Structure 1
Amino acid sequence: MDADDLAPPPAPAAGFTPRPLDPLSVAELERYIGQLEGEIARARAAIGAKQAVRAGAEALFRR
C-alpha cells in the first residue's frame, strides 16, 4: 500500500460545495453550468477591480 492511497482527497475550495450531478436532468445541468459561469464572471470582475485598485496604489507610491 502506498502513502498516496492513505492520503485524503483534496478538500474543495472554501465556500464551495460541489453538488451531486447524477440526479440532475440535462436541462438542470445546463442551468447549473450557466449559474457557475455567471459566478466565474463575477469572480473575474472582482479580481479585475482589485488589480486596478492595487495598480493605482502602486502608481501613487512610486511618485
Structure 2
Amino acid sequence: MNDDEISKPKAHEVGMAIDTMSIEELSDRIGLLEAEIVRLRAAIDARGNTRKAADAMFKF
C-alpha cells in the first residue's frame, strides 16, 4: 500500500484518534477548528442581532 492509497479525513471529528497524526496534520486540524469557532461565533452574533431587531419592533 502506498501513500496515495491512504485516505485522510478532510474534517475533524470530536473524539477521533489523533495519536497517529503528524504535527502538520494536528496543526491543520487546529486551523479547521479555529475557523469553525469563528463561523459559529458569527452565527451567534447574527442571531443576536436578529433578535434585537425583533424585540425593538415589537416593543410598545
The TM-score bracket by the shorter chain reads 0.7 to 0.9
List structure 1 runs of 4+ shifted beyond 6 angstroms: none
- State the identity %: 42
Give runs of aligned pairs for residues 1-63 of structure 1, distance below 5 A.
Answer: 17-63=14-60
Please tell me the root mean square deviation across aligned C-alpha atoms, in Å: 1.2
Q: Distance in 2 between matches of 1:20 and 1:28?
A: 12
Q: Distance in 1 between matches of 2:15 and 2:38?
A: 18
TM score, norm. by length of structure 1: 0.70
Q: Distance in 1 between matches of 2:26 and 2:50?
A: 36
How many residue pairs align between the two structures?
48
Q: Distance in 2 between matches of 1:26 and 1:43?
A: 26
| Bigger relative contact order (CA 8 A; separation at least 6) | 2
Q: Distance in 1 between matches of 2:17 and 2:42?
A: 28
